[in-house]
């Protein structure tokens, strides 16, 4: 794998996972750790708490001599691979706070400890994985809601308030912890230029005398140049307590944007590409359209950001984009665009070829519609054996019968009893229901609910009985002409005349 990575990605930095290195030697290391309870803790301090290769070499030699482990073959093998997995040897390379495969391992542990175990059935596993997705979405929503509110800053430093508006809530909490740890350091000026400082730790630990207690820091406020000897920002993108102590002493009001990585900000997902198509499309040259979309989207977003700064830039960008769109509409699309590296065939390819020969210019949406297949997807088979239309329905279990017992109703030994006998009148209803199963419409049949139909049963009023009580919800008009009393009652649009 190391040879392949070096050939394919010559500029990539290949390192080994620290967790897997220690886990691969866990059997031999457990034997060493059983000698003394402090061996494991001392070893992890040498690995994780060293800043430079020289400091690691000194710490490792003191650790080996203190517990007399010179003869250990396992520790010698780990030491020979130190440049591939110890963080002190690649501090100058950015890793995004991940020196192991902790992203996948932590998710794997979270799923196993909270949702599934070794006894989870397959159908329950699918449901539990949906619960995992819902829980992650809820956590992201909580992070979004937390970022929408006004952040609470413990220390009212100007640069802290600036980062509280930019960083996410989780990252800003890590920043505040580092800012709190900066109070344990003392700062002294080195030289007369006013930009070089020496940061010293006030709480010195006598247990580990090899630890580095002084760090050189460069804080150039005028030119916006900040760096520390521990290389924490270069390694993780987060500020170390040494730099934050210098920020407080130099009264830095604003941190340059180049020191605020976008992956830690609230706008980390603002320019993510979106495509409704779920299948990877590729052209004849093998380049996927998702890759082209990614590059074009990045350039387009840069044009948008530059064009919105002023009216002149906006007018210029609009005019150029309109001219570019007309030029691109005249260029015909590739005739053999398909899923992956496959080529479209059949009616889809013929429709695209006919369109190209006709010289019709299509927009992006129309072109996408031409490439989408209109053929219905294959129908999946349901579980169980499908019954034939002419198959006669029989009660009881399927399969061959021994036919050793006679029926209590008809007396025949043909493999049925009185409860499944087709000649028994008590079974006629069950046979009819089995024959009509799946042939009627879905849902509750009409008339089976309350009122015998759709909705409640309509109650017709007897208006003669209600005449003495007066009209209810309607109008009543009485007129007396030529000695006859006529009453017309209107209710809900229906009119009934009552005459005495």
On whether both 81 and 177 belong to a single domain, the answer is no
In a domain, 48, yes or no: yes
On whether both 245 and 312 belong to a single domain, the answer is no
Mean pLDDT by 10 residues, the chain (500 residues): 87 86 90 90 88 89 90 92 89 80 76 88 90 87 75 87 89 92 90 88 67 86 90 90 92 89 80 50 66 82 90 93 91 63 40 40 44 65 61 70 83 83 82 67 55 49 49 43 42 41
Domain range for residue 302?
291-328
Burial-class residue 139 by CB neighbours within 10 Å (0-12, 13-18, 19+).
Answer: exposed
Cα of first residue to Cα of last residue in the chain, in angstroms, is 106
Beta-carbon count within 10 A of 444 CB: 8
- Which residues lie closer than 8 Å to 415 by C-beta, 6 or more apart? 396, 401, 402, 403
User: In terms of DSSP bridges, do strands 225-228 and 475-481 run parallel, antiparallel, or are they unpaired?
Assistant: unpaired
In a domain, 171, yes or no: yes
Res 393: pLDDT: 63
On whether both 162 and 244 belong to a single domain, the answer is yes
Res 283: pLDDT: 62
In a domain, 361, yes or no: no
In a domain, 367, yes or no: no
Res 480: pLDDT: 41
On whether both 163 and 214 belong to a single domain, the answer is yes
pTM, 2 dp: 0.53
In a domain, 455, yes or no: no
On whether both 164 and 208 belong to a single domain, the answer is yes
On whether both 18 and 37 belong to a single domain, the answer is yes
On whether both 214 and 255 belong to a single domain, the answer is yes
- Do 132 and 111 contact (CB within 8 A), yes or no? yes
Res 273: pLDDT: 54
CA dihedral sign of residues 272, 275, 278, 279? negative
On whether both 98 and 64 belong to a single domain, the answer is yes
CA dihedral sign of residues 178, 179, 183, 187? positive
Res 95: pLDDT: 83
In a domain, 32, yes or no: yes
The tokens of 220 are what?
């150039």
């Amino acid at each position: 794998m190391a040879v392949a990575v070096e050939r394919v990605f010559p500029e990539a930095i290949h390192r080994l996972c620290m967790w897997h290195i220690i886990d691969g030697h866990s059997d031999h290391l457990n034997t060493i750790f059983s000698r003394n309870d402090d061996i494991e803790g001392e070893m992890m301090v040498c690995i994780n708490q060293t800043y430079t290769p020289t400091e690691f070499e000194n710490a490792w030699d003191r650790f080996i001599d203190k517990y007399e482990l010179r003869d250990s073959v396992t520790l010698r093998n780990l030491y020979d691979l130190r440049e591939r997995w110890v963080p002190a040897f690649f501090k100058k390379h950015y890793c995004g706070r991940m020196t192991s495969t902790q992203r996948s391992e932590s998710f794997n542990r979270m799923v196993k400890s909270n949702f599934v175990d070794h006894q989870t059935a397959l159908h329950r596993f699918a449901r539990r994985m949906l619960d995992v997705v819902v829980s992650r979405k809820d956590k992201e929503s909580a992070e979004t809601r937390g970022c929408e509110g006004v952040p609470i800053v413990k220390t009212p430093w100007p640069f802290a308030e600036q980062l509280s508006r930019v960083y996410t809530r989780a990252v800003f909490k890590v920043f505040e912890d580092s800012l709190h740890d900066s109070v344990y350091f003392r700062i002294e000026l080195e030289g007369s230029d006013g930009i070089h400082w020496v940061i010293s730790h006030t709480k010195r630990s006598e247990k580990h005398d090899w630890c580095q207690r002084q760090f050189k820091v460069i804080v150039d406020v005028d030119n916006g140049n900040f760096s520390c000897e521990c290389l924490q920002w270069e390694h993780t993108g987060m500020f170390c307590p040494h730099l934050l102590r210098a920020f407080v002493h130099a009264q830095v009001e604003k941190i340059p944007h180049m020191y605020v990585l976008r992956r830690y900000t609230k706008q980390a997902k603002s320019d993510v590409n979106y495509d409704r198509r779920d299948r990877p499309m590729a052209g004849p040259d093998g380049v996927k359209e998702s890759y082209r979309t990614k590059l074009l989207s990045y350039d387009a977003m840069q044009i948008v950001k530059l064009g919105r700064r002023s009216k002149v830039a906006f007018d210029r960008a609009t005019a150029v984009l309109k001219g570019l769109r007309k030029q691109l509409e005249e260029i015909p699309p590739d005739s053999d665009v398909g899923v992956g590296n496959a080529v479209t065939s059949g009616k889809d390819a013929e429709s695209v070829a006919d369109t190209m020969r006709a010289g019709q210019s299509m927009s992006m949406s129309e072109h996408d519609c031409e490439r989408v297949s209109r053929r219905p997807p294959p129908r999946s088979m349901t579980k169980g054996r499908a019954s034939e239309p002419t198959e006669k329905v029989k009660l009881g279990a399927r399969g061959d019968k021994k036919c050793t017992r006679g029926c209590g109703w008809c007396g025949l030994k043909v493999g049925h009893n009185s409860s499944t006998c087709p000649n028994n009148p008590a079974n006629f209803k069950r046979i009819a229901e089995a024959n009509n199963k799946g042939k009627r419409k879905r849902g509750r049949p009409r008339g089976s609910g309350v009122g015998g139909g759709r909705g409640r049963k309509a109650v017709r009023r007897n208006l003669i009985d209600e005449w003495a009580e007066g009209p209810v919800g309607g109008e009543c008009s009485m007129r007396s002409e030529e000695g006859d009393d006529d009453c017309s009652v209107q209710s809900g649009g229906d009119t009934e005349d009552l005459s005495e």
